[in-house]
Amino acid sequence: MVLLWSANFIIGKVALREFPPLLLGALRIALAGIFLAPIYWRKTRTAGKRFWPSRGVPMLALLAICNVGNQLLFLSGLNRTTATHSAWIIGISPVLVLLIAARIGLEQITMRKIAGMAIAFAGVAVLAGQASGQQALLHTEATLAGDAITGAAALLFALYAAYGKKTTELHGTIVTNGFAYMGGAVLLAPIVLWQARAFPFAGITAAGWSSLVYMAIFPSAICYLIYYYALTRISASRLAAFVYLEPVIATLMAVAFLGERITPLLAVGGAVIFAGVFLTERG
């Protein structure tokens, strides 16, 4: 899961060279919904349940909206900032999950967790400061707007993860994620039709199509199934220990495949975020 999610930052950059962010996000969710539909149908049929859930539909709909927003904002933010910045900002998701979980009564906030959150957000401020300076002085790829949009995507993922835990206990992993992606595909159908009217699909290369398919199947469908399955088997803090590796792996991949540089501020900001998230999860 961590490896597939880490590679998503790099492959997303490749796909964004050929697709606009809105169309890419809509196609990604639509393909993930198509991929999950037969699995969802088989699961509900085997369990003797209706295709349309009999209860908890408002929460499933909310999760679908959060999922759509997360996917679209992630790609929009990635299009305006570097893969390394995006990976480290997404890395604060466990802190946001904790805040939301505490709000709905699933977790308790301690002083150590508060300190960890403050440290993590200080690290994000370091990255934002670097992006602002780069935008003003060097005109490089990292921008404050891109970092802010990515932060909004992290918040929606946290909402999806926190509320999805309870929903998964009620409906199961496949139904929760299948409903989110199939519902998202329906919501985004008008956008796909609107964006596709004048888009030159014939000019998309094999790399562009394969990147889209990868993003739809692996980080969108497979990783979320693994994530929620893991939550039913191990504690959230233990699972977060694996997620800590994601920004590190994504940064190394960005350096190797995209030619991005590890600047001193990036190293400091990343280290501060890592320390803050780790302290929060151990609080």
72-118: per-residue pLDDT in tens?
999 999 999 888 888 888 878 877 887 887 888 777 778 877 887 78
What pTM did the predictor assign?
0.82
Element (H, E) at 199: none
Residue with tokens 């930052």: 9
Looking at residue 130, its pLDDT comes to: 60
- For residue 221, the tally of other CB atoms under 10 A from its CB is 23
Q: What is the dihedral of CA 176, 182, 187, 190, to 10 degrees?
A: 170
Looking at residue 140, its pLDDT comes to: 46
| pLDDT interval class at 283 (50, 70, 90) | low
Cα gap 48→44, rounded to integer Å: 6
> Which pair of structure tokens corresponds to residue 211?
């990147």
Looking at residue 135, its pLDDT comes to: 47
> Which pair of structure tokens corresponds to residue 151?
């932060």
| pLDDT interval class at 235 (50, 70, 90) | low
Element (H, E) at 3: helix 2-16
Whether 244 shows a pLDDT value over 80: the answer reads no
Lowest mean pLDDT among 34-38, 121-125, 194-198, 251-255: 121-125
Length of the chain in residues, anyone?
Answer: 283
